[in-house]
Amino acid sequence: MIEKTKSSKKIYEGNFISFYEDEVYLPNGNTSQRVVLKHPGAASILAITKDKKIILTKQYRYPIQKISLEIPAGKKDHPTEDGLTCAMRELEEETGYQSSNYKKIFTFHPAVGFCDEVLDIFIAYDCEKIEKPASPDADEFIEVEYIERSQINNLLKSGAITDGKTIIALQYYLLHE
């Protein structure tokens, strides 16, 4: 079933993403083309406060040209960065919360057809607001929103939440918590 690289052409190298057009050998010996977006990986976190509120972020997502309601998340600083370090940094920067009670719930591929990104999802309990949190990146404009467990089904069914990682995390919460 495996496809082997015949040749690989780098099309683009950006700050964190690079883009390749490869020619591959198919299992039957024929060749085909594959495009691959190379991504450093990312981490995200389903963060729950002491009073059981779920902490979400609201931000404009330029690629989809929409404001999106999501769990806190961000790219790894480098491909070998630990997912938990990344998730906790994003939680603090984007929402001002911290937690010391957490576990990993998923490591998944958001877009297997054209991207090598691996995305971790953690769940963090008993999150508490800290006094002087780190700031978000200079190009991030983020609002915090709190939802209750009882709102999840409606937010998913109505299409108010359309972000893949956030759907996975919230469904997990309904199933297991």
Interface residues toward a second copy, by CB under 8 A: 1-3, 11-12, 14-15, 17, 19, 21-22, 24, 26-28, 30, 32-37, 39, 42, 58-65, 67-68, 70, 75, 106-119, 138-139, 141, 143, 156, 159, 162-165, 167-168, 171-172, 174-175
Least distance (Å) from a second copy to the CB of residue 136?
Answer: 12
- Nearest CA to 71 among 147, 151, 158? 147
State the minimum distance, in angstroms, from the CB of residue 113 to a second copy: 7
Sign, CA torsion 135/136/142/146: negative
Q: Which is nearer to a second copy, 75 or 127 (CB)?
A: 75
With beta carbons less than 8 A apart as the criterion, state whether 68 and 58 touch.
yes
- For residue 115, which amino acid is it? C
In the complex with a second copy, the residue whose CB is nearer, 15 or 150, is 15
d(Cα 8, Cα 115) in Å, to the nearest integer? Answer: 15
* Minimum distance from residue 15 beta carbon to a second copy (Å): 7
Q: Nearest approach, Cβ of 128 to a second copy (angstroms)?
A: 26
DSSP sequence for 10-44 = EEEE-SS-EEEEEEEE-TTS-EEEEEEEE---EEE
Task: State the nearest-atom distance from the C-beta of 93 to a second copy, in Å.
Answer: 15
**Nearer to a second copy (CB atom), residue 21 or residue 93:** 21
Q: Which helix (H) or strand (E) holds 97?
A: strand 97-98
Residue pair 145/58 in contact (Cβ under 8 Å)? The answer is yes
Q: Which is nearer to a second copy, 94 or 163 (CB)?
A: 163
Q: Considering beta carbons, is residue 80 or 175 the nearer one to a second copy?
A: 175
Closest CB 164 distance from a second copy, rounded Å:
5
At 152 the three-state DSSP class reads: helix
CA–CA dist 115, 36 (Å, integer): 5
Considering beta carbons, is residue 132 or 176 the nearer one to a second copy?
Answer: 176
